[in-house]
Amino acid sequence: MLSREEIKKNVGIYAAGLVKPGMAIGLGTGTTAYWLIKELGARVKEGLQIMVIPTSAKTGQLAKELGIAVSDLNAAGELALTIDGADEIDPEGQLIKGGGGALLQEKIVAAASRELVIIADSSKQVDQLGKFPLPVEVIPFGYKQVIRQINQQGLCSKVILRQVNGYPFITDHSHYILDCEFVKIEDASSLNVLLHGIPGVVETGLFIHMTKRAIIGYPDGRVEVTMYK
Ligand code: 5RP
């Protein structure tokens, strides 16, 4: 049986095969995307010519270190493809993302792409979203009012301000993250709309019908492509 890291490496290498010469692609963030970036770096060294739009500063930094050409989304126009990780995937391909705190840029880059392909190990597949706390990116100003409104509307069971070493976690775009705990998310689409209705909410980690394809790795070494409607 493969370790979780070996599974992530497998799907990262598999997904690199989708990247063709001359493509401009969105490059995901996280420990699974790491393996994709490493593999693309190796292929670039062998002559593959691509342009990437990173979904976070960390991904952009790694890509540059590996010699991959990095561009800006405004300069790039529509992207052929974005390949990114996920924290949860339901049977319809709805996602929770943002465990790494990059959800805003990830969603903008995905929306600018003809296709979002998800890479994940099989543990990310769930029957219903909500076990993984939903990251919600908020403006620091008055963020406690956002928490109050989420609680008043009963949108989730518990809201926690994400912190690192006792200080608020700051996103690449200088925002905070609220991690919202649920038992289950019954209607992800409505929840997304309700959260967006609260002033101060910048973006949610709910990616609703944004992906039609997930590359899933299993402990026995299989890598399978799951398609969604
Ligand atoms: C970062 C993300 C990641 O894609 C998500 O957290 C999955 O990460 P990993 O591959 O490390 O499990 O959304 O904001």
Q: pLDDT tens, 87-99?
A: 999 999 999 999 9
Amino acid 95: pLDDT: 98
Mean pLDDT of 21-31: 98
Residues 54 and 162 grouped into a single domain:
no
Residues 11 and 88 grouped into a single domain:
yes
Mean pLDDT of 64-83: 96
Residues 56 and 149 grouped into a single domain:
no
Amino acid 37: pLDDT: 98
Residues 55 and 24 grouped into a single domain:
yes
With a Cβ cut-off of 6 Å, ligand 1 is lined by 28-32, 84-87, 97-103, 106
Residues 59 and 162 grouped into a single domain:
no
Residues 25 and 106 grouped into a single domain:
yes
- 37, two tokens: 């970036």
Residue nearest to atom 1 of ligand 1 (CA): 100
Determine which one of 39, 88, 106, 203 is catalytic: 106
- Tell me what percent of the residues of the chain surpass a pLDDT of 90: 99
User: What's the whole-number average pLDDT of the chain?
Assistant: 97
Amino acid 88: pLDDT: 98
Residues 33 and 98 grouped into a single domain:
yes
**Tens digits of residue pLDDT in 175-212:** 999 999 998 999 999 999 999 999 999 999 999 999 99
Q: What is the CA radius of gyration of the chain?
A: 17
Atom number of ligand 1 nearest to Cα 101: 14
Alpha carbon distance 131, 227 (integer Å) = 23
Residues 180 and 216 grouped into a single domain:
no
Amino acid 185: pLDDT: 96
Amino acid 93: pLDDT: 98
> Ligand 1 centre from 84 Cα, in Å?
8
Domain count of the fold of the chain: 2
Amino acid 120: pLDDT: 98
Evaluate whether 87 touches 99 at the Cβ level (below 8 Å): yes
Mean pLDDT of 22-51: 98
> Ligand 1 centre from 199 Cα, in Å?
26
Residue nearest to atom 10 of ligand 1 (CA): 32
Residues 118 and 8 grouped into a single domain:
yes
- Assign 33 a pLDDT band (cuts: 50, 70, 90): very high
Residues spanned by the domain of 185: 134-203
> Ligand 1 centre from 85 Cα, in Å?
5
Q: What is the CATH number of the domain that holds 141?
A: 3.30.70.260
- Assign 145 a pLDDT band (cuts: 50, 70, 90): very high
Residue nearest to atom 6 of ligand 1 (CA): 99
Residues 31 and 112 grouped into a single domain:
yes
Amino acid 205: pLDDT: 98
Residues 114 and 212 grouped into a single domain:
yes
Q: What is the CATH number of the domain that holds 27?
A: 3.40.50.1360
Atom number of ligand 1 nearest to Cα 84: 4
At position 24, the amino acid (one-letter code) is: A
DSSP secondary-structure letter at 220? Answer: T
- Assign 64 a pLDDT band (cuts: 50, 70, 90): very high
Residues 38 and 61 grouped into a single domain:
yes
> Ligand 1 centre from 19 Cα, in Å?
20
Pocket test for ligand 1, best of 8, 9, 87, 172 (most atoms within 8 A of CB): 87
Based on the residue annotation, tell me whether 106 is a catalytic residue of this protein.
Answer: yes
Mean pLDDT of 113-140: 98
Amino acid 134: pLDDT: 98
Q: Give residues with Cβ within 8 angstroms of 149, minimum separation 6.
A: 198
